[in-house]
């Protein structure tokens, strides 16, 4: 959608402004951003350690295009066009001989196009377009410590095709986001440890198209989002193995298209159109010989939208179509001797959640359409070979899920 679409959004916003609101006659500041990245972008970080007493930390991050724009107290109009035409790879590798210390942290983040736009105490209009071509975008994060120990361990792999963040504080906005992803987006990794005496957290998260919006201090926003994921694969995978571990969690979450918009103000008017054609796969596997608690969690979603307003009105016009190679979530836990072992797998074709605050005179209007033409499968496996206190597993598969509610915010 071009200028005409933005005018429609601005008109919608003007029609729901509070009666006392005034508009300035001063021309807004304008920002035009055009970014095209055609070559490969990669970042690699390797740590080889023998014995560390305090902390081991390693991080890598690679992004094809990055854009940020913000205004405080002044009207602003933005246009951003980003195209990622080369591969993006972020890889972190940690090799440990004896001990990686009291705290060990490793991260890898790979992103095709990234944008941020925000306004405080003013009005923002904007059109943000992000396109990734059929190239690989991969985040890889691994810890190899088969004969080593550690205190607490935190490791994460995150891969994003397109991601746009928006924020409005004490202002108003009319926004349009267009995202098209053809890139194979994957996050992969895991770890092997001989002994972890504290918590071990290994996470993988992949989203092909992502939009996040936050509004506060009485803001009002009209936004339209169009997302199309045509990649052959959207995948998150995490594999862990422990000789002995106190508390281990291994998670993998893969999403084709995602919109998260939460407003604290007088109105959120959201029009969301999502089309996923990609095979979405989430896989989390963990093995432990001796353990206190060990779990694996895998979640795969084709299209996901979370839309809410606390304090005012939320208008939702939502359309989701999932017809790609299918949605699959696989969680597996294998344990020998210990206490609590579990595996949780969930797979969903289309999911939308909308809410308004009932105690804040909130009101909600919804027009929802969901179509799933793909297979959706969730598989969870728990295998114990010795003596354990508990073994539990949950697997859920849903074609279309819609949840709407008007309620009091938590804690009030």
- The sign of the CA dihedral 156, 296, 163, 14 is negative
Q: Return the CA Rg of the chain.
A: 23
Burial class of residue 396, CB neighbours in 10 A (0-12, 13-18, 19+): middle
Pairing type for strands 29-37 and 76-84 reads parallel
How many whole angstroms separate alpha carbon 233 and alpha carbon 256? 9
Q: What is the 3-state secondary structure (H, E, C) of the chain?
A: CCHHHHHHHHHHHHHCCCCCCCCCCCCCEEEEEEEEECCCEEEEEEEEEEECCCEEEEEEEEEEEEEEEEEECCCEEEEEEEEECCCEEEEEEEEEEEECCCEEEEEEEEEEEEEEEEEECCEEEEEEEEEECCCEEEEEEEEEEEEEEECEEEEEEEEEEEEEEEEEECCEEEEEEEEEECCEEEEEEEEEEEEEEEEEEEEEEEEEEEEEEEEEEEEEEEEEEEEEECCCEEEEEEEEEEEEEEEEEEEEEEEEEEEEEEEEEEEEEEEEEEEECCEEEEEEEEEEEEEEEEEEEEEEEEEEEEEEECCCEEEEEEEEEECCCCEEEEEEEEEEEEEEEEEEEEEEEEEEEEEEEHHHCCEEEEEEEEEECCCEEEEEEEEECCCCCEEEEEEEEEEEEEEEEEECCCCC
The pLDDT assigned to 311 comes to 82
pTM: 0.93
Residue in 110, 89, 105, 2 with CA at minimum distance from that of residue 47:
105
Minimal CA–CA distance to 135: which of 152, 158, 108, 113?
A: 113
Q: Distance between CA atoms of 221 and 259, rounded to whole angstroms?
A: 15
Residue holding tokens 């209009």?
Answer: 125
Which residues of the chain carry a pLDDT beneath 70? 1-25, 358-360, 408-412
pLDDT score of 266: 92
Strand-pair partners of 102:
none
Count the neighbouring beta carbons within 10 Å of the beta carbon of residue 50: 11
State the pLDDT at residue 20: 37
């Amino acid at each position: 959608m071009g200028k005409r679409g933005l005018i429609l959004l601005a008109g919608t916003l003007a029609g729901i402004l509070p009666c006392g609101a005034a508009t300035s006659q001063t021309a807004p500041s304008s920002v035009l951003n055009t970014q095209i990245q055609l070559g490969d972008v990669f970042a690699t970080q390797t740590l080889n350690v023998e014995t560390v007493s305090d902390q081991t930390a390693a991080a890598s991050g690679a992004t094809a295009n990055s854009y940020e724009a913000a205004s405080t107290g002044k009207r602003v109009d933005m246009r951003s066009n980003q195209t990622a035409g080369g591969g993006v790879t972020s890889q972190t590798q940690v090799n440990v001989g004896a001990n990686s210390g009291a705290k060990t942290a490793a991260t890898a983040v790979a992103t095709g196009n990234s944008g941020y736009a925000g306004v405080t105490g003013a009005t923002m209009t904007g059109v943000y377009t992000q396109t990734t071509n059929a190239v690989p975008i991969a985040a890889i994060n691994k810890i190899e410590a088969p004969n080593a120990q550690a205190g607490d361990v935190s490791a994460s792999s995150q891969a994003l095709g397109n991601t746009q963040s928006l924020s409005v504080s004490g202002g108003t906005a009319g926004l349009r986001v267009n995202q098209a992803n053809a890139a194979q987006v994957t996050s992969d990794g895991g770890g092997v440890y001989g002994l972890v005496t504290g918590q071990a957290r290994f996470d993988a998260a992949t989203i092909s198209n992502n939009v996040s919006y936050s509004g506060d201090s009485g803001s009002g926003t009209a936004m339209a989002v169009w997302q199309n994921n045509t990649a052959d694969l959207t995948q998150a995978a995490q594999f862990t193995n422990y000789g002995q571990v106190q508390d281990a969690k291994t998670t993998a979450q893969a999403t084709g298209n995602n919109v998260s918009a939460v407003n604290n103000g007088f109105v959120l008017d959201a029009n969301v159109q999502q089309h996923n054609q990609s095979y979405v796969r989430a896989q989390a596997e963990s093995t432990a010989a001796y353990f206190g608690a060990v779990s694996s969690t895998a979640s795969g979603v084709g299209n996901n939208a979370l839309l809410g307003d606390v304090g005012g009105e939320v208008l939702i016009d939502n359309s989701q179509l999932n017809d790609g190679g299918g949605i699959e979530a696989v969680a597996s836990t294998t344990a020998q001797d210990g206490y609590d072992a579990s595996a949780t797998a969930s797979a969903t074709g289309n999911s939308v959640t909308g809410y308004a605050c009932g105690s804040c005179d909130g009101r909600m209007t919804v027009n929802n359409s969901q179509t799933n033409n793909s297979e959706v499968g969730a598989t969870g496996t728990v295998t114990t070979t010795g003596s354990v206190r508990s073994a539990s597993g949950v697997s859920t598969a849903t074609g279309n899920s819609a949840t709407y509610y008007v309620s009091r915010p938590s804690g009030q």
